[in-house]
Each structure stands twice: as C-alpha cells, then as structure tokens.
C-alpha cells in the first residue's frame, strides 16, 4: 500500500487525467482506489472484530458456567426442602 500511495502523490495521477488517456485505465484506477480504501477500513475494523469474537467467547463461557451453577443451586434447594420435610415429620 505504501508503494501505491507514492503514485497518488503525483498531481497528474487523478481519475480525470487517466480518463482522458484510457477509459479502461480509469476503471482500473477506480478499483485500486476502492481497494486502498477497503484496506484502510479493514485495518481499523479487523482488530475490533477480533475483540468482539473474544468477548462473545467469554460471554458464552460465562453463560455456561452460570447455567451450571444455577442447576447446582436448584438441586441443593430441592435437597434442602426434602431434608426439612423429613426433619419436620420426626
């Protein structure tokens, strides 16, 4: 990308100037400009995507742990109620 930026510093390297020389060249230049913009955006977005993926993985792990703990608490609650009922019958 750095090499391409050097070409765009040239004042003659504009879409209008290239169009007067070659319509096909102008189309290619348009594509190069779009790819350069995409690359610039991707450099910003890719780390954020990775951070979101890591956060979603952590969330999923935490939710699974929460479900496990809630099931354990529910089981202990039932056992506690059964024990309480048995002791009251005595």
Nearest to 34 by CA among 10, 12, 11, 15: 15
With a pLDDT cut of 70, the percent of the chain lying above it is: 92
Tell whether the model's pLDDT for residue 78 goes beyond 80. no
What tokens appear for 43 in the block?
């450099």
Which residues are CB-neighbours of 18 under 8 A, at least 6 positions away? 25, 26, 29
Gyration radius of the chain's alpha carbons = 32
Residue 2, CA distances (Å) to 7, 36, 40, 41, 71 in order:
9, 10, 12, 15, 57
Q: What pLDDT digit, counting tens, does each position of 29-39 carry?
A: 999 999 999 99
In this prediction the pTM is 0.57
What tokens appear for 78 in the block?
């039932």
- Domain map of the chain by residue range? 2-89
């Amino acid at each position: 990308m750095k090499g391409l930026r050097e070409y765009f510093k040239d004042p003659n390297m504009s879409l209008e100037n290239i169009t007067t020389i070659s319509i096909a060249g102008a189309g290619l230049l348009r594509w190069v400009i779009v790819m350069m913009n995409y690359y610039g955006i991707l450099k910003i977005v890719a780390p954020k995507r990775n951070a979101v993926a890591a956060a979603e993985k952590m969330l999923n792990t935490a939710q699974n742990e929460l479900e496990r703990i809630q099931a354990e608490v529910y089981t202990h609650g039932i056992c506690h109620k059964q024990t309480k009922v048995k002791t009251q019958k005595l």
